[in-house]
Structure 1
């Protein structure tokens, strides 16, 4: 799926729901268990449903899952998140993504270069 090539957000949500319906028909117990688990995860608790949707949006962005991005933007809006809260979530996600890259670069990559360069000599 590529939203940017002309598929609408509404079409993507419909496509997801249709696919979920087909999967549920083929694997009813698995789908039932997964749905029950996710319902519990997104219930109001110490974290609000809005906070949980914002977290899910950040994870969706980081994993580059277009369906989940759309689904959780809708979840954020449905739970009353403002555009500013959504944009701030994007900023935190971008910082995390950059931080993950940097942490591996300054440790694992530098260590690998050092060891592999030593092995060549």
Structure 2
């Protein structure tokens, strides 16, 4: 059953979850192992979950992966990152990724923060 999204960020997250669900049904063993691996990578350790989400957001920006950008903006917000912390991580990424990273930061990251914050209000 398809759920109606209230904004483009939520629509992208739903689209990703739907695709993941289909992949899970077709490749359950691989999907289960991948999910276990990634869950372990994001567990609290010497680095906090917050720090790991900020790192993942930077890598997502650098890789120009729009689904991961949105997913990790949400992860940052869920872990209590402020908008300023997210934007500072974006700045570090832009220092390495140049214009491509900055273009995603000034559009998709800011739109995702705004839209995801509206969902929690």
Q: Same fold (TM over 0.5)?
A: yes
Query: Do residues 57 (structure 1) and 57 (structure 2) align?
Result: yes
Q: Report the CA distance between 1:77 and its aligned residue.
A: 0.2
Structure 1 segments of 4 or more deviating over 2 A?
none
State the match for 1:23 in structure 2. Answer: 23
Question: Which structure is richer in relative contact order (CA contacts within 8 A, separation 6 or more)?
Answer: 2
Instruction: Normalising by structure 2, report the TM-score.
Output: 0.74
Q: Report the CA distance between 1:67 and its aligned residue.
A: 0.3
Please give the alpha-carbon distance, in whole angstroms, between the structure 2 residues aligned to 1:39 and 1:90.
23
Structure showing greater radius of gyration is: 1
Please give the alpha-carbon distance, in whole angstroms, between the structure 2 residues aligned to 1:49 and 1:14.
23
Instruction: Normalising by structure 1, report the TM-score.
Output: 0.74
State the match for 1:9 in structure 2. Answer: 9
Q: Report the CA distance between 1:72 and its aligned residue.
A: 0.2
Please give the alpha-carbon distance, in whole angstroms, between the structure 2 residues aligned to 1:97 and 1:87.
14
> What is the root-mean-square deviation of aligned Cα atoms in Å?
0.9
State the match for 1:110 in structure 2. Answer: none
Number of aligned residue pairs: 92
Please give the alpha-carbon distance, in whole angstroms, between the structure 1 residues aligned to 2:53 and 2:81.
9
State the match for 1:81 in structure 2. Answer: 81
